[in-house]
Amino acid sequence: MNEKNDSLAGAGVNTRLSHIGNSPLDFHGFVNPPVVHASTVLFPNAKAMETKSQKYTYGTRGTPTTDALCEAIDALEGSAGTILVPSGLAAVTVPFLAFLSAGDHALIVDSVYFPTRHFCDTMLKRLGVTVEYYDPMIGAGIEGLIKPNTRLVHTEAPGSNTFEMQDIRAISAVAHRHGCVVTMDNTWATPLYFKPLDHGVDVSIHAATKYPSGHSDILMGTVSANAAHWDRLLDAHGALGICGAPDDSYQILRGLRTMGIRLERHQESTLNIARWLEERDDVARVLHPALPSFPGHDLWKRDFTGSSGIFSFVLKAESPEQFKPKAHAFLDALSIFGLGWSWGGFESLAVHVGLSDRRICKAPSEGPVIRLQIGLEDVVDLRKDIEAGFAAAKAV
Ligand SMILES: *Cc1c(COP(=O)(O)O)cnc(C)c1O
């Protein structure tokens, strides 16, 4: 395995995605690893059982299938270790439970994925953790919010639904000066377009449900830590018993093989549509960090090596009373875009974004925010579908 990883050092990203993780010769040459279904693992004798000296000891502690996926993710993230959990949301909550204790203070970015906020405002609060939300554009100014008991700074860039960028390097440097752990939800970029640990983050979080899965049919999360934070993360994973399932792990590993070329296509089609939307009278603003018009564009350009397939635009409306009827008319006129949550699959999706949870990042005032996930369909067909949406919204 290590020999193979050495031979992949310096190889291009698609070469690495094709070969990281399992080693076919470990399993009689079959290209893909076997799916190991397991609770019990047998030991050859009582001594081996007592000392737990063998590699695999029980299903919750990993199998060759989950190890293959974890090794692949470690290779992409540059992490010391990766845990698998049954959803992207659990990939946020497990590290929070690993690193936070009663009496601690946590700083959470205000443009955070809403269910993360819900966990903070309910369960973390009940467990005695104080949570404070901060402006995504705060940068090194986060120092002003750090208290003696601040233990964790959570970042997500771009932010959910409105795609605010963050100066991850500046925030991490300040947080580390004050002994805080820095976590990042990196789902949007995947480790292909941003590598959190290279920018000072300690714990990188992914909803593998999105691009690694790629087919809208698997829920899974990955959490990858640097060497200083790996033992504590692994301990919490073991204590909680929230582990990844073998079939799902297999499917995510399978998804990784094509993730590079899928992302290239998502990126290209999305930029095409985002630029086209910017030119249209129906649109007040396009919220996509790779557009030079976007306020956080410079940070994106400095730190990211690509952009993925999800962004939002503000549909023009004359008054707030028109926001909802226009958004609904737009969505209901779509036939290729599906109306549904999540993203990262092969098919296009649209949602009317709710932003009433935000404390600091104000919702755009020019109209409703529509989030688009651009799938692998042909762009001309997607444009036609969006045109139908605009015509319906205009008629409101
Ligand atoms: C979807 C998403 C999650 C949660 O993933 P699930 O597998 O749906 O629980 C977490 N963070 C971000 C940024 C997401 O978009």
Q: Is the pLDDT of residue 41 over 90?
A: yes
> Mean of the pLDDT values across residues 321-344?
97
- Is 93 a pocket residue for ligand 1 (Cβ < 6 Å)? no
Shared domain for 246 and 272, answered yes or no, is: no
Residue 53: band (very low, low, confident or very high) from pLDDT cuts 50, 70, 90: confident
Instruction: Report percent pLDDT > 70 for the chain.
Output: 98
Domain C-terminal end among 255, 278, 305: 255
> Which DSSP string do the residues of 146-198 spell out, in sequence order?
--TTEEEEEEESSPTTT-----HHHHHHHHHHTT-EEEEE-TTTHHHH--GGG
Residue closest to 186 by CA, chosen among 280, 270, 304, 267: 304
Q: What is the pLDDT of residue 24?
A: 92
Shared domain for 266 and 373, answered yes or no, is: yes
Q: What is the pLDDT of residue 111?
A: 97
Going by alpha carbons, the residue nearest to atom 10 of ligand 1 is: 88
CA of 231 to the centre of ligand 1 (A): 24
Q: What is the pLDDT of residue 380?
A: 98
Q: What is the pLDDT of residue 5?
A: 55
Q: Closest ligand 1 atom to the C-alpha of 89?
A: 9
Q: What are phi and psi of 130, to 5 degrees?
A: -90, 135
Shared domain for 247 and 279, answered yes or no, is: no
pLDDT per residue as tens digits for the range 232-282:
999 999 999 999 999 999 999 999 999 999 999 999 999 999 999 999 999
> Mean of the pLDDT values across residues 321-336?
98
Q: What is the mean pLDDT of the chain?
A: 96
Counting runs of H as helices and runs of E as strands, what totals does the chain give? 14, 12
Instruction: Report percent pLDDT > 90 for the chain.
Output: 95
* Domain limits for position 355: 260-394
Shared domain for 66 and 172, answered yes or no, is: yes
Residues in a beta bridge with 185: 156, 205
- Give the residue ranges of DSSP H helices in 78-127: 88-99, 114-119, 125-126
Residue 1: band (very low, low, confident or very high) from pLDDT cuts 50, 70, 90: very low
Residue closest to 109 by CA, chosen among 191, 217, 188, 36: 188
Distance CA 155, CA 107 (A): 9
Shared domain for 21 and 131, answered yes or no, is: yes
Pairing of strands 283-287, 105-109: unpaired
Residue 91: band (very low, low, confident or very high) from pLDDT cuts 50, 70, 90: very high
> Which DSSP string do the residues of 284-352 spell out, in sequence order?
EEEE-TTSTTSTTHHHHHHH-S---SEEEEEEP-SSHHHHHHHHHHHHHT-SSSEE-S---SSS-EEEE
Distance CA 381, CA 369 (A): 22
Predicted model pTM:
0.96
- Is 84 a pocket residue for ligand 1 (Cβ < 6 Å)? no
Shared domain for 189 and 266, answered yes or no, is: no
Shared domain for 364 and 287, answered yes or no, is: yes
> Mean of the pLDDT values across residues 297-303?
98
Going by alpha carbons, the residue nearest to atom 6 of ligand 1 is: 88
Q: What is the pLDDT of residue 376?
A: 98
Residue closest to 295 by CA, chosen among 112, 160, 165: 165
Residue closest to 188 by CA, chosen among 42, 355, 309: 309
| Per-residue CA distances from 323 to 64, 278, 330, 357, 358 (Å) | 51, 19, 11, 17, 18
The count of domains in the chain is: 2
Identify the burial level of 50 via C-beta atoms within 10 angstroms of its C-beta, where 0-12 means exposed, 13-18 middle and 19 or more buried.
Answer: exposed
Shared domain for 375 and 232, answered yes or no, is: no
Domain C-terminal end among 237, 255, 273: 255
Shared domain for 204 and 304, answered yes or no, is: no
User: Residue 376 carries which side chain, given as an amino acid letter?
Assistant: L
Shared domain for 280 and 232, answered yes or no, is: no
Instruction: Identify the CATH number of the domain in which residue 332 sits.
Output: 3.90.1150.10
Q: Following CA atoms 161, 378, 348, 158 in sequence, which dihedral angle do they give, to the nearest 10 degrees?
A: -20
> Mean of the pLDDT values across residues 211-225?
98
pLDDT per residue as tens digits for the range 157-215:
999 999 999 999 999 999 999 999 999 999 999 999 999 999 999 999 999 999 999 99
In what order do the strands lie in the sheet containing 310-315?
Answer: 283-287, 310-315, 369-373, 349-352, 338-339
- Is 160 a pocket residue for ligand 1 (Cβ < 6 Å)? yes
Distance CA 144, CA 179 (A): 15
Q: What are phi and psi of 82, to 5 degrees?
A: -130, 135
Beta-carbon count within 10 A of 247 CB: 12
- The residues, ordered by sequence, that sit 6+ positions from 267 with a Cβ below 8 Å of its Cβ are 306, 307, 308, 309
- Is 87 a pocket residue for ligand 1 (Cβ < 6 Å)? yes
For 299: left if phi > 0, alpha if psi spans -120 to 50, otherwise beta; the answer is alpha
Residue 4: band (very low, low, confident or very high) from pLDDT cuts 50, 70, 90: low
Going by alpha carbons, the residue nearest to atom 4 of ligand 1 is: 88
Residue 2: band (very low, low, confident or very high) from pLDDT cuts 50, 70, 90: very low
- Is 186 a pocket residue for ligand 1 (Cβ < 6 Å)? no
- Is 218 a pocket residue for ligand 1 (Cβ < 6 Å)? no
Q: What is the pLDDT of residue 9?
A: 80
Shared domain for 209 and 299, answered yes or no, is: no
> Mean of the pLDDT values across residues 345-352?
98
- Is 205 a pocket residue for ligand 1 (Cβ < 6 Å)? no
Tell me the two tokens of residue 50: 């007592």
- Is 219 a pocket residue for ligand 1 (Cβ < 6 Å)? yes
Residue carrying the six token digits 């829920």: 219
Q: Is the pLDDT of residue 6 over 70?
A: no
Q: What is the pLDDT of residue 264?
A: 98
Tell me the two tokens of residue 35: 């799916």
> Mean of the pLDDT values across residues 334-344?
97
Widest Cα–Cα separation across the chain: 77
pLDDT per residue as tens digits for the range 123-151:
999 999 999 999 999 999 999 999 999 99
Q: Is the pLDDT of residue 47 over 90?
A: yes
Q: Is the pLDDT of residue 3 over 90?
A: no
Q: Is the pLDDT of residue 90 over 80?
A: yes
Residue 38: band (very low, low, confident or very high) from pLDDT cuts 50, 70, 90: very high
Shared domain for 275 and 126, answered yes or no, is: no
